[in-house]
Structures are given as structure tokens and as C-alpha cells.
Amino acid sequence: MNTLKILLGTAAFLVTSFACANQEKTFLSMRSDAGDLVGQGQTYHLTTPKDGHLVINVDQNHSNVNFWLDTSGNQPQPLPSWFGNFWTAGKNIPLAIGQYDNAMSPSTANSLHPGLAISYGYAHPSSTTGSFHIYDLGFDVYGNVDHLALTFEQYSNGSTAALHGALWYNSALPLPAVPEPEAYIELLAGLGLLGICFLRRKPT
């Protein structure tokens, strides 16, 4: 099922409004289930610089990427800041494009489990589990993150309520949607849209 959703999620790039676009985007978008500690059952879509200042850091091994979205200076109603960490299993293997399953709190990540931790304001889970998928990742000549696109799903403190999210940083990739298996009609529509894009770009 996970593999099917990954494949469908990749194909579902095509059904978004960005299917023919090629503009770099930076945002943090999330949907929280009822009962989720961090997101409190709310939906969020934060862009920069409108909603805050986004900082992306990476360690020297490129095995850990973390972000800080500072919204404290926003007016008229400042909001708490978002923090996030994504680790590879073992913490010394560079992050790469692909799926990272069975993730847990970075402090307990090991050679078998990658790390994942998202927090908001004072909502800091004592333990986390989940997964994340990196769609786009690149570094500049100084080793800093140049562009990044990933989605994640986090469960806090053993809860079954999830925080679903997407983090885009200077990435031109469209935001993927992950349809349920029965949503093939949208997938077919997306394939048709891809064909239209190719026809428009085909030289005459």
C-alpha cells in the first residue's frame, strides 16, 4: 500500500494547478487530524515572506536537514514558530531523494530508523513516529541547501492522529497529492493534463 501511494502520489503531481508551471516555490503546508498534538486539528499554508521567515540548515554530512519558520514578527497577530528535523538512519548517511519509512524522534534514530520531529510553539512531542519522502534536494557550492521538496506524516506521543505536511524551499516541483487507490479518475485526468503540457511544449 505504501508503494502504491508513493507511485500514485508522484503521478498525482499532474493533477495540481502547477502541472505546467516551472516557478520556484517556498512554503510549509500542513493538515492536522483531530487529536494531533502539534497541529491541533487545523490546516495551515504558510508562505514566505508573507507569513514568516524560513531558515533551512544542514549538517556537514548532509544527513540532517532542519527548518525554522519564524512567524513571531507577523502582524497583526503574531503566531508561534514551526520547527522540524529530518535525519537519515545512522545520522551519517547523506539525505537523498526517496522514501524514509519507520521514522522516529531524531534523538532515538539509529541505523534502522531515520529521524523525524515537527513541533509548533510549545507543542513539542516527547516521541514521534512517521515517515517522510524527499522529492527534490540540491546543495550549493558551499554545501548549503539550495532547494528542497519533501512531504511528511508524523504521529506524536503514540497517538493515531497524524500531522500531514509538505515543505518546499526554492523548488519548482509541483506539490504532490496522495490519492486513495479509488481515486483513479483524478489520476487519469492528470495524465491527460500531462499530455496537454507536452503538446504545448512540442516544437512546431
Mean pLDDT confidence for 142-165: 97
Q: Could you tell me the pTM of the whole model? A: 0.74
| 143 vs 154: CA distance, rounded Å | 28
What pLDDT, in 10s, does the model give residues 27-63?
999 999 999 999 999 999 999 888 888 999 999 999 9
Strand ordering across the sheet containing 98-104: 43-47, 25-32, 162-171, 145-156, 128-139, 98-104, 115-120, 82-87, 64-70, 53-58
Q: How confident is the model at residue 23 (pLDDT cuts 50, 70, 90)?
A: confident
Range ranked top by mean pLDDT from 13-17, 70-74, 198-202 = 70-74
pLDDT of residue 29: 94
- pLDDT at residue 16 above 70? no
What pLDDT, in 10s, does the model give residues 58-71?
999 999 999 999 88
Q: How many helices (H) and strands (E) does the chain have?
A: 2, 10
